[in-house]
A = this chain, B = another copy of it.
Amino acid sequence: MFTTLSIDGGICAPDGFFADGISAGLKPDGQRDLAFIHSDTLCSVEALFTENRFQAAPILHFKKEGIDTTDFVLINSKNANAMTGEAGIEDIYEILEHAKSRFGNISNPVMSSTGVIGVRLPKEKIMEGMDSFDLSRKSPDAAAKAIMTTDSYDKQVAFEVVLQSGDSFKIGAMAKGAGMINPALATMLCFITTDAAVPSDEMAPLLRECAETTFNAISVDGDTSTNDTVMLLCNQKSGIYNREAFLFALQKVMHELALKIVADGEGASKCVAFRVTGAANRKEAAAAAKALSNSLLVKTALYGEDPNWGRIASTIGASGVECDPKTLTITFGNVTVYREGEILFDAETEAKAAEVMKKSSFSIHCDLGVADGSFTAYGCDLGYEYVKINADYRT
């Protein structure tokens, strides 16, 4: 038994974590573009990285160094430092050497980047910007804003978890990501801090378990950007660890941030849960649910608030999973439009389904009627604004 309380403070909510975000001149007009996360004691660190074959330089650097502890994470937006080869990794070494000489007391610093692919980092600007960092600041909002690219708002959560014994720990996080995520290959970054005393060998399995139904439910496996990163920093300060409570809290943090990313889809006006049940197994359920959340025709129908269930059916049929029109049932919110071969889509049902689609958040449920595999993927609509943002993004 434990209680989870939503608290302020984002990544600075857990004891011993500091953060800030400043303008280093990477973004125009003095917007924040360079952030740090600092812990006053050495943290265990674990990260999930993109499965893209062209992993960006910060990821290659992290792996090359075999990082498993750190107390300083530097994050820049506007430039992904991806496809930049050895030179891109060298740039990171130079920048982090500068950080060590500037701040003296930091160990195993790491870097994370997001933005345009294929352009060398403006390292002088970054080093100059870093010089103004004050590692004793707790400005989580500024840090969360500095990592944004096409995000329309910053994304933070924090919880205090109180165990029945009265002991407690805190967990905080910030994320960026505002693309259609997939198939649009938008870059997502997420940084999670905690003062829970998580054993370091449990961090990776916990992250993977929670990612499956959160960040991986808003993105098709493997079809990710060059920079995608979910990083967990544990400084053990609370001395408290209860696996069940921590798993619950981590899942909650990642789920809420995943939904914030979907809801901030570029130009998106709706967040939709695509729930698939009755599939041959969980993997097939996930394949069908993600096919729905990624279909351009489904996304545009959502935008048009058009309960075009034929597109839903066609997408399921094309997803390669075991299914049969005679056992399929499709429901918008609580309005069933097709049940096991029978079309229930008359004028009245259409009006009710269209009503459901006017909401900013609702579910589309497809029961395949094959076995009992289930999965829920999250997606958003695609409107004019998406095209505008992505046609104009780089320039």
Binding site for B on A (CB under 8 A): 51-54, 80, 82-86, 116-120, 179-180, 183-186, 222-226, 294-297, 300-301, 303-304, 306, 308-311, 313-326, 338, 341-343, 345, 382-384, 386-388, 390-395
Contacts and interface: CB of A to CB of B under 8 A. Distances in A.
Given A116-B310, A118-B338, A384-B387, 8 more contacts: A54-B325, A82-B314, A84-B343, A184-B296, A185-B314, A304-B392, A304-B394, A304-B395
Contacts of A224: 318
Contacts of A297: 179, 183-186, 390
Given A54-B317, A310-B116, A85 B183 contact: no
B225 A314 contact: yes
Contacts of A394: 301, 304, 306, 308, 310
B303 A387 contact: yes
Contacts of A383: 387, 391
Contacts of A51: 318
A381 to B, nearest CB: 9
A297 to B, nearest CB: 5
Contacts of A313: 54, 82-83, 117-118, 226
A258 to B, nearest CB: 19
A314 B390 contact: no
Contacts of A317: 52-54, 226
Given A304-B391, A383-B391, A83 B315 contact: no
B310 A118 contact: yes
- Complex A-B, nearest 6 residue pairs according to Cβ-Cβ distance, in ascending order: A117-B310, A304-B391, A54-B317, A300-B390, A118-B310, A53-B317
A61 to B, nearest CB: 15
Contact of A118 (B301, B309, B320): B309
Contacts of A382: 387
A310 B391 contact: no
Nearest to A118: B310
A190 B395 CA distance: 40
B183 A296 contact: yes
A321 B52 CA distance: 10
Contact of A318 (B222, B310, B322): B222
A310 B83 contact: yes
Nearest to A226: B314
B387 A300 contact: yes
A132 B266 CA distance: 51
A345 B80 CA distance: 16
A311 B185 contact: yes
Contacts of A384: 384, 387-388
24 contacts: A53-B316, A54-B325, A80-B310, A83-B310, A83-B313, A85-B341, A86-B341, A116-B308, A117-B314, A118-B313, A118-B343, A120-B343, A183-B296, A185-B295, A223-B318, A224-B318, A297-B390, A300-B386, A300-B387, A301-B390, A304-B392, A308-B394, A383-B387, A384-B384
A338 B301 contact: no
Contacts of A388: 384
